[in-house]
Structure 1
Amino acid sequence: MNVKVTVKLDSNKLNNITKAHIKSLEMATEALKGDIVTSAVIPKDTGELERSCFVNLENVNNGITHISFDTPYARRLYWHPEYNFRTDKNINAQGKWMDAYINGEKDDFMKKSYFMFLKMNSKGVIK
């Protein structure tokens, strides 16, 4: 029994999927940053730590993005959850505020956001 298979690849659709992947990863990372801010988990006194949050897209073509907090004290506040953070401005202020997204109750947030944006940006190729 012989089987003959012919595969034809549509390069335009493949390019669209590649572009959709990059754009979706950018959008999902921005959505994650937005969710971190709206979840009110970042310690807040003057708001400088929250404002210093930025998305690094230098390696987005390799599938890598970063969310960073750029203040001299960000690392100290992050790694010391035992501090008594004020909760009058951000009700859920805490140390290790990214843990919920890494291995906690929101660990699938990035994946779900990415797939939602990929479906939206693929122009009907991914359903």
Structure 2
Amino acid sequence: MKQLSRAQVKALEQTAEAVHTDVVQAQVMPFDTGNMQNESTFVDYTDSSRGKCTIVSSTPYARRLYFHPEYNFNTLENPFAGGEWFRPWLPGGIYQGFAQQAYKRFYRKESGI
């Protein structure tokens, strides 16, 4: 049972990293200097043992950019940059099943099933 519980936590952490990586690779985050995307956005594993991982953007302007898709975003570095960049990975989005599929794959690998 402990092995399966550890596999759940590890798969959750890997899934959060996979979503973060997929968002960066999809080039949907606003990109000026790259600070928000590359240095200031990370996965917080603090509560992973309780079933929660969080993708955090620690810059003071991330919230403003995320919740205002009407801004005129620079698309030179990230051609699909805009607000609400996680929306495609949420229910109803084009990548809505990404996290579930990634979790299944990671859990099978970690648990040996």
Aligned equivalents of 2:58, 2:110: Cα separation in 1: 31
Quote the residue 2:82 is aligned against: 94
Structure with the greater alpha carbon radius of gyration: 1
TM-score using structure 1 length: 0.84
Quote the residue 1:49 is aligned against: 36
CA RMSD of aligned residues (A): 0.8
Aligned equivalents of 1:43, 1:57: Cα separation in 2: 24
1:79 is aligned to 2:60? no
Deviations 1:6-36 (A, max 9, x none): xxxxxxxx22111111111111110111001
Deviations 1:54-111 (A, max 9, x none): 1011111111110011111101100010111111100110100011111211111111
TM-score using structure 2 length: 0.95
Percent identity over the alignment is 39
**Which stretches of structure 1, 4 residues or longer, exceed 4 Å deviation after superposition?**
none
Q: From 66, 72, 75, give the equivalent of 2:54.
A: 66
Quote the residue 1:105 is aligned against: 94
Aligned equivalents of 1:34, 1:121: Cα separation in 2: 20
Quote the residue 1:8 is aligned against: none
Aligned equivalents of 2:68, 2:17: Cα separation in 1: 26
Quote the residue 1:118 is aligned against: 107
Aligned residues: 111
Structure 1 gap segments, 5+ residues each: 1-13
Aligned equivalents of 2:78, 2:47: Cα separation in 1: 31
